[in-house]
Amino acid sequence: MEPWIFLSIAAAAFQTLRFMLQKHLSMGALSAGGATLARFFYSAPFVVALSLTYLAATGATWPGYTPLFWAYAISGGLAQILATWCVVALFAERNFAVGITFKKTEVVQTALVGLVILGDRITWLGLGAILLGLIGVLILSETPGFEGRWWRRFGNRAAALGLASGAFFAVSAVGYRGATLEIASADPLLRAGLSLMMVTVMQAVALTLWLMWREPGQVGRVIAARRTAVWMGLTGMAGSLCWFTAFTLQNAAMVFAVGQVEVIFSLFASVLFFGERITRREGWGIALITLSVIAVVALR
């Protein structure tokens, strides 16, 4: 198995754990903004410590980077904040597994953004496999009370939040891939770690200031929830490090395409931890997405 495939699967597993914790915290303990902050607030210290330790252990010097690094890093970091906020808000609209699947429109959107911004290309067979996954997403896009004509599926809050989160995650992934490519180092783990460190610190500071202004008291609640939120930070750091490293090795659309196994992980979480039920239609949608992931790996 190529390293980027393993990293993509690991990132999806860690991300599922993080979203489970975020869903738990957003169900009363914290607002959507507070649950989003917790992800970055508790990741930042671990990311800084890990990156600096790796730098010292390898004896590497701080690598140079181009001015484009900051443009990619800032745009990617802001887009990830907005994407995470949308996903947390989405949990109130659909069950856990289907909510995560809505987010998976990011794969097709990432392919388009990556082509426009970085010139990343994928084969026609790879694109076909990605579109197969999109069909699975569309099957899952039925919302109670909005059955019937297909366009009504996109005219509700759940669909809007899912599509918006996918768009923001697409911009974020392409921005992060662009940032790692602007660092002058041949070590993919070093490039990923340093990019992640700078982005996560910026995100934690920016979102803390925003919530202090817009939601007074929410930062205090994030600190009070530290016993649960610290695990969100650890899983968030692990997942992001896997994503960032995979982005240094392969274009973002292919990484996210394999990362759709997150849907399977979220299905287990939905049934085992949240007591939610998956319908037959939703099962077919998830099956198509699984087939899409297998095809992406086989036809890359």
Top-confidence residue, 149 or 120 = 120
Q: What confidence tens digit (pLDDT) does each residue in 61-116 have?
A: 889 988 899 999 999 999 988 988 887 777 666 555 566 666 767 878 888 888 88
- How far apart are alpha carbons 14 and 20 in whole angstroms? 10
- How far apart are alpha carbons 149 and 53 in whole angstroms? 55
Domain extent listing, the chain: 3-299
Predicted local distance difference test score (pLDDT) of residue 270: 72
pLDDT grade for 163, boundaries at 50, 70 and 90: confident
Among 5-9, 69-73, 222-226, 285-289, name the one with the lowest average pLDDT.
Answer: 285-289
Predicted local distance difference test score (pLDDT) of residue 24: 66
Please return the burial class of 227, using the count of CB atoms within 10 Å of its CB with bins 0-12, 13-18 and 19+: exposed
Record the tokens describing residue 275, joined without a space: 């007591």
Record the tokens describing residue 216, joined without a space: 């007074």
pLDDT grade for 146, boundaries at 50, 70 and 90: very low
Mean pLDDT, range 45-60, rounded to an integer: 92
How much is the pTM? 0.81
Mean pLDDT, range 165-174, rounded to an integer: 91
Q: What confidence tens digit (pLDDT) does each residue in 230-264 have?
A: 888 888 899 999 999 999 998 888 898 888 787 77
* CB neighbour list of residue 118: distance below 8 Å, 6 or more residues apart: 174, 177, 178, 181, 251
